[in-house]
A and B are shown apart, each in its own frame.
Chain A
Amino acid sequence: MGLSIEQHEIACRACGAKIIFEPMHRSVRCPYCDSPSVIDRPATSDRPDPVFIVGFSVDRHEATRRMRQFVARKKLAPPGLRGRAAERVSGVYLPTYLYSAVASSTYSAKIGEDYYVTEVSRDSKGRTSVKRRRKTEYYQLRGPHHSYVGDVVVTASKGIPNNEIEAIEPFDLGALRRFSSPLVSGWISEEPSLTREECLQLARRESESKIRNILRLFMPGDSVHGLEGHTALGKESFDLVLLPVWVFAIRYREDRPPIRLLVNGQTGKTWGEIPVSWGKVAIVAGVILGLLAVPVILGLIAGLFR
């Protein structure tokens, strides 16, 4: 069997065996002597060297426990899923980019300031009533907003999209270490499979979304309407960071692809898209309908005997 264009062959320095490593992996384990090796490739613009790494703090046993707990909480999961052992478990150093920038924004919004008036009214019988009514005065507000945007993490992997990373965030970036090969030794360390430009656009979109939320909270007044902002991001920094993720593949039916579950390798936060068992949904719906129908049936029976 020949090598594909991007596959490489290296010799294990421990036992001399030939090992084929995938282009998207930075580390590899010899299948014969189990020696871990870390591949040091020359950096390119789309495959730069990692700058930082967050080490695994959750081991395989703890990750498995968290995954099982997560699945057990999903009451409508297919019956075969609970208790099913994972087909594949991998501790992966996932490539992500850490983005920071200076965000310079201008905004405009209609700000409502509330005040209260006391209204005295008299009804047809001559009785008076006093009511306190809230009224609002509106002002147009324009202004600048400057801030640093930091800690924006976006995926650099085609395998695990950004929404899945967001689902197991946050990572404690206070535990960042400068990258060094020993830290990934013996673990799967993936190379970026998205281009730097794709990731940069993703990070900019996420930052702009963050700024929109910040601007919403920045507004004075009792109510805010029509908030519009324009943000320019400058002095950007963009560093490749390896984050620890446990990836579980669970197959609960032979005719279906396995389900993927992710466990944050630092905090243990778990996420996965668990399918719904329509049989269980039907049973729950039946029980609810049955409970709702009981008073009706009782009413009908009572009517028959009257």
Chain B
Amino acid sequence: MKSPDLSCGRCESPLEVEDLRCPVCRRSAPIVAPLDNPEPSVEILRCDGCGAAVSYDVRARAPKCAFCGSQTRVEAPEDPIEQTELFLPFTVNRTAAEGAYQRWLGGLGWFRPGDLLAATTLESVKPLWWVGWVFDSDATVSWAADSNAGAGQADWAPHAGQTEIQYRNTVVSASRGLRDDETDHLVSSYDIQSARGEPEGGGEEAVIERFDVQRSAARRQVMAMIERVAEHRLKNGKIPGSRFRNLHVSVILRRLVRRRYAFPSYVLAYRYKTELHRIVLSGQDETRILGSAPYSTARILLAVVGGVLALAALLTAVLTLIG
């Protein structure tokens, strides 16, 4: 549960109501001040069941009555399973998805079997919302690395610096059904601004994938992505040089806002002879497809033999000219 008023006093990241500490900078979350009570007082804890005094029980990890075994509920650390907050709507319908699949299959090139279109059967088309986190944050990134810039006799010279990086609508997949390369391929096809509170489109058979990670694991995945993105951006323009090694980054995050999204897609399964293949298509852009398809061994061999023959002919011609 997110409270609009609850944010970390140090890094300004929004906090969930259940957070005891800020997950970004580990500052303790604000608490309601206790009532002023100038005199020492004694609290005796009574069992709701039998009225006996209760003590904290190690096995139950809660106060427990030694006489009747009743347990007193105490605030437990919360680490709930993540739930989807926003859905991107399907803007590609099933017919358009099947048409895109046909065009994709037909345009795979000469190295595929000649009968690919004719011998293929579309087995299933499943509309699926896969899930992921979208986050925004500002970061101060300190870095140190070796690069080829400024190197003398050695291949490397050390460099260090600090840069500000803004993360806007950065997506981290939480999908168990789709591979990372598939979600990476689809991500830029989505219009994040089109998100809404309820699923829209996809038909009745559309499946909504569930987050099956707890909040603490989700945060670790987002943090790992933040470091990966920082390293990528540093290597692409921030660190002088073109080759790098020993890159170390230290990230100070501020205002980390993380939302849980469901992204529309179609998962198509087709069979070529006996082989089953899968392709994934964006539910918002029918040109964004990634999948596997068979190769024609005969055509590849033919190309290799042709290439070798052409090379041999070229070599013979050159030798004849020289001779």
Binding site for B on A (CB under 8 A): 8, 10-14, 35-43, 49, 51-52, 55-60, 98, 100, 102, 111, 113-115, 135-137, 139, 141-148, 150-151, 174-178, 180-187, 214, 217-221, 235, 237, 239
Return chain A residues, CB-CB under 8 Å to B72: 182
Return chain B residues, CB-CB under 8 Å to A186: 54-56
By the criterion CB–CB under 8 Å, are B44 and A113 in contact? no
Flag whether B1 is at the interface (Cβ < 8 A): no
Binding site for A on B (CB under 8 A): 10-11, 20-21, 24-28, 31, 34, 36-45, 53-56, 58-59, 61-63, 72, 74-77, 79, 140, 142, 144-146, 151-162, 216, 245-248, 250-252
* Interchain CB contact (< 8 A) of B158 among A37, A141, A239: A141
By the criterion CB–CB under 8 Å, are B142 and A40 in contact? no
Q: What are 24 A-B contacts with C-beta separation under 8 Å?
A: A37-B53, A38-B42, A38-B45, A52-B28, A55-B61, A111-B158, A113-B151, A114-B154, A137-B152, A137-B153, A143-B142, A144-B160, A146-B250, A176-B77, A178-B75, A182-B54, A182-B74, A186-B55, A187-B56, A220-B145, A220-B247, A221-B156, A221-B246, A235-B27
Return chain A residues, CB-CB under 8 Å to B61: 55-57
Q: Say yes or no: A237-B27 contact (C-beta < 8 A), given A182-B63, A185-B55.
A: yes
Q: Apart from A136-B154, A176-B21, what 13 extra A-B contacts exist at CB < 8 Å? A: A10-B42, A37-B53, A42-B40, A56-B61, A102-B252, A143-B160, A144-B162, A177-B74, A185-B53, A217-B248, A220-B247, A235-B27, A239-B28
Q: How far is the CA of A176 from the CA of B216 in the complex (A)?
A: 13
Q: How far is the CA of A100 from the CA of B28 in the complex (A)?
A: 9
> Count of A-B contacts with CB under 8 A?
188
* Interchain CB contact (< 8 A) of A147 among B39, B75, B250: B250
Q: How far is the CB of B314 from chain A (nearest CB, A)?
A: 38
Q: How far is the CB of A34 from chain B (nearest CB, A)?
A: 8
By the criterion CB–CB under 8 Å, are B58 and A58 in contact? yes
Return chain B residues, CB-CB under 8 Å to A174: 77, 79, 216
Q: Which chain B residue has the least Cβ–Cβ distance from A114?
A: B154
Q: Say yes or no: A146-B140 contact (C-beta < 8 A), given A38-B43, A180-B74.
A: yes
Return chain A residues, CB-CB under 8 Å to B216: 174
Q: Which chain B residue has the least Cβ–Cβ distance from A28?
A: B42
Q: Say yes or no: A14-B44 contact (C-beta < 8 A), given A36-B55, A183-B56.
A: yes
Q: How far is the CA of A234 from the CA of B58 in the complex (A)?
A: 38
Q: How far is the CA of A139 from the CA of B153 in the complex (A)?
A: 12
Q: Which chain B residue has the least Cβ–Cβ distance from A143?
A: B160
Return chain A residues, CB-CB under 8 Å to B152: 137
By the criterion CB–CB under 8 Å, are B158 and A176 in contact? no
Q: How far is the CB of B19 from chain A (nearest CB, A)?
A: 11
By the criterion CB–CB under 8 Å, are B10 and A237 in contact? yes
Return chain A residues, CB-CB under 8 Å to B41: 39-40
By the criterion CB–CB under 8 Å, are A221 and B74 in contact? no
Return chain A residues, CB-CB under 8 Å to B247: 220
Q: How far is the CB of A21 from chain B (nearest CB, A)?
A: 9
Q: How far is the CA of A186 from the CA of B43 in the complex (A)?
A: 12
Return chain A residues, CB-CB under 8 Å to B159: 141, 220
Q: How far is the CB of B14 from chain A (nearest CB, A)?
A: 17
Return chain B residues, CB-CB under 8 Å to A144: 142, 160-162
Q: How far is the CA of A177 from the CA of B20 in the complex (A)?
A: 7
Q: How far is the CA of A219 from the CA of B245 in the complex (A)?
A: 11
Q: Which chain B residue has the least Cβ–Cβ distance from A34?
A: B53
Q: How far is the CB of A18 from chain B (nearest CB, A)?
A: 12
By the criterion CB–CB under 8 Å, are B250 and A57 in contact? no
By the criterion CB–CB under 8 Å, are B45 and A185 in contact? yes
Q: How far is the CB of A200 from chain B (nearest CB, A)?
A: 15
By the criterion CB–CB under 8 Å, are A13 and B158 in contact? no
Return chain B residues, CB-CB under 8 Å to A115: 153-155
The 5 closest A-B pairs by CB, nearest first: A186-B55, A143-B160, A150-B26, A115-B154, A113-B154
Q: How far is the CA of A187 from the CA of B58 in the complex (A)?
A: 11
Q: How far is the CA of A186 from the CA of B142 in the complex (A)?
A: 49
Q: How far is the CB of A137 from chain B (nearest CB, A)?
A: 5
Q: Which chain A residue has the least Cβ–Cβ distance from B139?
A: A146
Q: Which of A41, A144, A151 has the most CB of B within 10 A?
A: A144
Return chain A residues, CB-CB under 8 Å to B145: 220
Return chain B residues, CB-CB under 8 Å to A181: 43, 45
